[in-house]
Structure 1
């Protein structure tokens, strides 16, 4: 049986600065890593497993949306084979990135 743990949840937002302030102030989260693009913050990762990604996509305007979740598993190969049985397809990012027919994108990572 495969063992798993949630590694992170990536959420796309238009107002990334507000999202950062919210995570720090409301939830007491600590910034672990920041990625800049065009002289502004593009992505940020918190120690607590939340990843925020800047997006100008219209659907993100009101509520934001989950871009992907990262799940660590004890056996990546078996996990990917099982996911395929449920219609999951690999993405161009790598075969450990899969998307299910209902739209959920998952980054499958090994438990280290």
Structure 2
């Protein structure tokens, strides 16, 4: 199965650090700032996920969501959660660590996209 979202070792290490400090987490891909490159990390009680959000998968055991409209633009890409030096988003839990989550992407290959379309059709059946 092709993963729609993956994380670098640096991102997984920061996720583990935040889990140790805060417990259960969730991600939501920002659609309103930072050139849409900021994946914000929240406590599950900090953000309501609704019908306009799409769950792409999990990274480090943490669910990763994206807004449905933004998903339409990015659905042909695999999101790669990474970490950069600097301040995280004001609302994101890593904000005071000196690091920030950053989303990169790559286009799915034709073979990967065919697998994804097959899986979507199975899920709809």
Could you tell me the TM-score, scaled by structure 2's length? 0.27
Q: By percentage of residues, which structure has more helix? A: 2
Work out which of the two has the higher radius of gyration on C-alpha atoms and give 1 or 2: 1
Q: By percentage of residues, which structure has more strand? A: 1
